[in-house]
């Protein structure tokens, strides 16, 4: 089997992958997975919300937008102190995480916060963890400064297809997202970019999102695939649930299209059975968010994940 790294995927080719019989698709994805990844290892990234809520953007899925805050009842916080973040990172490392992802509910970081952010990167790295941040849009200078501080990954999702995007977010454009990814890439930081499924989009949109990601000048080193967590009080709270098999298909197609990337089974695991998660690993998911909290919503407890890993003979990485 051969799985070259390609950047010229056409919509028809991607739809043909989605349309395959489920068994054929998962078998192909697992074959591609085995070319570049240890099939019995799963990377563990732990999240922390270093600044919660009060966000000026209007992403319809998000509990942290100031537009939805009244209905979600979420209270906003200030940026955390460096010492608290480093102490929490130490705990995450002791619990088994290898990467620490710090998220802030911002349109983009403010100059007055940059020194604190750089100190967080340095402090978390010094604990022996890989670092990741997700702070909204970055300009070139901000990306360069984070790179100089040693930031390993920057997460900024395209979220969905270019066509569906306007149904979900109106306060920033798709192109602005791609510009941030270009600054991150140019700064030499690993790109973490993926999106959300289950927002009422069509299969064409899931395919379009993966096409955007795979046809970037370089595949994102990490591709988080989130299942929508339908947060009460957000505009998407009552959206129809996505068929779980379609979620597995999305993971499988991501794996085939971006063979060397980490594909992360991201938000939504709290509501997934062990069997569904196992199918995601079989379809090529190589990473998860670990720890009992995502940003504002719950995630499975460590001992539950470790029990599943033990049943499957998976090793954390
Ligand atoms: N505020 C920053 C930004 O959006 O650029 C960073 C944090 S933001 C919460 C990171 C990503 O988490 C979003 O782009 C989205 O893909 C995902 N996300 C947010 N809320 C979610 C939800 N309710 N369900 C699933 N994924 C979600
Ligand atoms: C990503 O793709 N998913 C993470 C991380 N990147 C920042 C966030 C998931 C958030 C889920 C909803 C919440 O907990 O607020
Ligand atoms: Fe703000 Fe990020 Fe939530 Fe959008 S996803 S509202 S940018 S915190």
What is the SS3 string spanning 150-202? CCCEEECCCECCHHHHHHHCCCCCHHHHHHHHHHHHHCCCEEECCEEECCCCC
Atom of ligand 2 nearest to the CA of 299: 14
Q: pTM for the full model?
A: 0.98
> Does ligand 3 have an atom closer than 6 angstroms to the CB of 136?
yes
Q: Ligand 2, from 54, 100, 199, 267: best to mutate by most atoms within 8 Å of Cβ?
A: 267
Ligand closest to CA 195: 1
Structure confidence at residue 232 (pLDDT): 96
Q: What integer pLDDT is reported at residue 123 of this predicted model?
A: 98
Q: What is the pLDDT of residue 35?
A: 98
Give the number of whichever ligand sits closest to the CA of residue 160: 1
Of ligand 2's listed atoms, the one at least distance from the Cα of 134 is: 7
Indicate if 280 belongs to the active site: no
Asked if residue 105 has its Cβ within 6 Å of ligand 1, the reply is yes
Is residue 132 among the annotated active site residues? yes
Ligand 1 contact, 228 CB (< 6 A): yes
| Catalytic-residue membership of 141 | no
**Quick one: pLDDT at residue 242?**
98
Q: Is 65 close to ligand 3, i.e. is its CB under 6 Å away?
A: yes
pLDDT of residue 69: 84
pLDDT single digits (tens) 213-266 = 999 999 999 999 999 999 999 999 999 999 999 999 999 999 999 999 999 999
Does the CB atom of residue 46 touch ligand 1 within 6 A? no
Residues of the chain with pLDDT under 70: none
55 is known as an active-site residue: yes
């Amino acid at each position: 089997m051969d799985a070259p790294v390609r950047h010229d995927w056409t919509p028809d080719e991607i739809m043909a992958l989605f349309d395959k019989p489920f068994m054929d698709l998962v078998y192909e994805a697992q074959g591609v997975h085995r070319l570049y990844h240890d099939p019995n290892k799963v990377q563990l990234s732990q999240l922390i919300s270093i600044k919660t809520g009060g966000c000026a953007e209007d992403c319809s899925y998000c509990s942290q937008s100031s537009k939805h805050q009244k209905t979600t009842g979420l209270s906003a916080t200030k940026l955390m102190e460096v010492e608290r973040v480093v102490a929490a990172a130490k705990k995450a490392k002791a619990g088994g995480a290898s990467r620490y992802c710090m998220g802030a509910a911002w349109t983009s970081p403010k100059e007055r916060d940059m020194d604190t952010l750089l100190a967080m990167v340095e402090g978390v790295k010094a604990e022996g963890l890989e670092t990741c941040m997700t702070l909204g849009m970055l300009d070139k200078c901000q990306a360069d400064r984070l790179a100089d501080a040693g930031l390993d990954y920057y997460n900024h999702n395209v979220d969905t297809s270019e066509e569906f995007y306007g149904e979900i977010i109106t306060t920033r454009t798709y192109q602005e997202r791609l510009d941030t990814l270009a600054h991150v890439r140019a700064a030499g930081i690993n790109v973490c970019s993926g999106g959300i499924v289950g927002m009422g989009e069509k299969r064409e949109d899931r395919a379009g999102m993966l096409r955007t990601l795979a046809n970037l000048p370089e595949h994102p080193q990490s591709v988080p695939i989130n299942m929508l967590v339908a947060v009460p009080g957000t505009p998407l709270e009552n959206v129809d649930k996505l068929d779980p098999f379609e979620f597995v298909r999305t993971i499988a197609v991501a794996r085939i299209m971006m063979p060397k990337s980490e594909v992360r089974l991201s938000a939504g695991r709290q509501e997934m059975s062990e069997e569904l998660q196992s199918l995601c690993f079989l379809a090529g998911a190589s990473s998860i968010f670990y720890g009992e909290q995502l940003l504002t919503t719950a995630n499975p407890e460590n001992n539950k994940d470790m029990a599943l890993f033990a049943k499957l003979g998976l090793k954390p990485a």
